[in-house]
Amino acid sequence: MTSLVSAKSVSKHFGSFTAVDDVSFEIESGKILGLIGPNGAGKTTLLKALLGLTDCEGQLSVMGLDPFRQRKELMQNICFIADVAVLPRWIRVTQLLDYVEAIHPNFSRARAEELLQQTKIMAKSKVKELSKGMVTQLHLSIIMSIDAKLLVLDEPTLGLDILFRKEFYANLLNDYFDEERTILVTTHQVEEIENLLTDIMFINDGRIILSSSMEALPGTYIEVAASGADADKARGLAPIAEGQMFGKSVMLFEGVSREHLEGLGDLRTPSVADLFVAKVKGART
């Protein structure tokens, strides 16, 4: 695998406030990476830097280009969907396709029209006449009709009902993603996408607090539900987080082998959401 994105000691300051604090990471081609963080963690600022919308300190390369200084060239191979509606409300669907066809060299209008035929969106409809779900479908139809190497999704399904969310990600995987493309997604509904991800990255207070492949998580993190003397023994192995559930102590361990925990309680790999909460709370103590 080759690195599509390379960040080395990247920081972004707004006066005395540090939004991104000396982060370094690599995103390989053909991956689906979940960028997870609480509000104000630095996700949006980092995405803006990757998209060339803001400059930054350090070294940042996307497809071998400086995203801030070579943004025009870079955007020919990047697609972006955000929760914030950016389509003019007055424009008709057919006019929007005309516009994208005129400005993007890698856009296939025929493909977009084929995808839109699978929805209830009419070609003559104006954006203001579409529901939020339909606007997202319109976005996705355009995105999946552009031959881009990197797709950035920033809370793309926020506010949509569960049927739209499931359909959104199913279409994305079945009709768009392949080993030549890379997807970077941020969401607060991490439970819905963790089975889609190949890699995960947690950001908190502008710093990367976890970066891992999904395959590596079971070998690094283990959760045990124990009670009584077994809970005391498990606690002696220094869990990074502990909570209570159904009368048992649920402890999360990092770097502790499964053999050390066998026999102390029920073992399982923690969910991404549970791991995220534990890492963020640990970073704040």
- The per-residue pLDDT for range 214-241, each reduced to its tens digit, is 999 999 999 999 999 999 999 999 999 9
What is the structure's pLDDT at 190?
A: 86
List the structure tokens of 150: 């990197």
Question: What does the pLDDT look like over 8-18, one tens digit per residue?
Answer: 999 999 999 99
Q: What pTM, to 2 d.p., does this model score?
A: 0.88
Closest to 210 in 3D by CA, of 194, 221, 225? 221
Q: Among 116, 108, 121, 279, which residue's Cα sits nearest to residue 207?
A: 279
If DSSP codes are grouped into helix, strand and coil, which group holds residue 20?
strand
- pLDDT at position 285 is 61
Residue 164 has, within 13 A of its CA and on its CB side, a CA count of 17
What class, spelled out in words, does domain 3-213 have in CATH? Answer: alpha beta
Report pLDDT digits (tens) over 172-217: 887 777 777 899 999 888 888 888 899 999 999 999 999 999 999 9
pLDDT at 33 over 70: yes
What are the residue boundaries of the structural domains of the chain, listed by start? 3-213, 217-284
**Distance, CA of 252 to CA of 222 (rounded, Å):** 6
Pairing of strands 32-36, 17-28: unpaired
Which residues on adjacent β-strands are paired with residue 151?
79, 183
- Please name which of 141, 140, 147 lies closest in space to residue 181, comparing C-alpha atoms: 147
